[in-house]
Amino acid sequence: MSEAKKQTNGKPEYTLEQTRARRKRDCALGYRLLAVQKWGDLGDGHISARDPERTDCFWMLRYGVSYHQAMVSDLVLVGSDGQLVEGDGFVNIAGYYIHQPILEARPDLVSAVHVHTGWGTPFSAEGRPIEPISQESCIFFEDHALWDDEEVQVQSVAAGRRIASALGRNRAIILRNHGLLTAGDSVAEAVGSFIQMERVAEVHMKARNPKPISAEAARFAKKDLTQFGIGRSAFASMLRRHIPDPEMVNQ
């Protein structure tokens, strides 16, 4: 997206309107990238994008829209009480129960991503953490949590708060018997991290007798891999491959 900006101390400064537009665009694109992976065909997932001005509210795809058709105009603004603040359509209440407590507990976060996937869901059923058994696995080394809870049908803010508490300061969490969830300081970072995490789950399910690398080696790899935003780079790469005209979601 082309955004007018001014320079402050050598860094770009965006207006609230520009920041909101970017977050909403990336949120719509994020849903389309999930669809590219053939995730969310049953509507079983959600992406949030915190509003930069009304910071206790977040944007999310309205209920009932197929992910591959997501447009910015299909996003609705959800209030801290789960009510519709702006936009047309119905709020995905399951998404509200999970995302609102996470964004409330973590002011540093802009977005969280959760969707049921072919490898992440079965991996979550094993109730075990990610080990440094591949390069991508190192991204999550000492930076993910396990929510060891039986409430797979998250139907309350209280359950969402337990997820937020378990997530802590980590970038990701495994919801036992439910699936994966990632969070980030931008929509792109959260979505890209989720795609990486699903591939890590696939490696864990396919490797029959893996030999993890040492903690020292894993930390070295993680520092190198994440220094420029591993999620954002994955998001950008996926867009180049699958959505050559990102602005089309604004039409």
Confidence band for 4, pLDDT divided at 50, 70 and 90? very low
Confidence band for 152, pLDDT divided at 50, 70 and 90? confident
| Interacting residues of 206 by C-beta distance below 8 A, sequence separation 6+ | none
What is the C-alpha radius of gyration for the chain, rounded to an integer number of angstroms? 17
As given in the structure block, the two tokens for residue 120 are 């992440």
Confidence band for 215, pLDDT divided at 50, 70 and 90? very high
Domains of the chain in sequence order:
14-250 (3.40.225.10)
pTM for the full predicted model: 0.92
Which pLDDT belongs to residue 11? Answer: 58
Mean pLDDT to the nearest integer, 153-174: 96
- Among 49-53, 201-205, 242-246, name the one with the lowest average pLDDT: 242-246
Confidence band for 3, pLDDT divided at 50, 70 and 90? very low
Mean pLDDT of the chain: 94
Mean pLDDT to the nearest integer, 194-212: 97
The 3-state secondary structure of the chain reads CCCCCEEECCEEECCHHHHHHHHHHHHHHHHHHHHHCCCCCCCCEEECEECCCCCCCEEEECCCCCHHHCCHHHEEEECCCCCEEECCCCCCHHHHHHHHHHHHHCCCCCEEEEECCCCHHHHHHCCCCCCCCCCHHHHHCCCEEEECCCCCCCCCHHHHHHHHHHHCCCCEEEECCCEEEEEECCHHHHHHHHHHHHHHHHHHHHCCCCCCCCHHHHHHHHHHHHCCCHHHHHHHHHHHHHCCCHHHHHC
Confidence band for 177, pLDDT divided at 50, 70 and 90? very high
pLDDT > 70 in the chain, percent: 95
Mean pLDDT to the nearest integer, 66-70: 96
Which pLDDT belongs to residue 2? Answer: 33
pLDDT at 10 over 60: no
Residue with tokens 């970072």: 189
Which pLDDT belongs to residue 155? Answer: 87
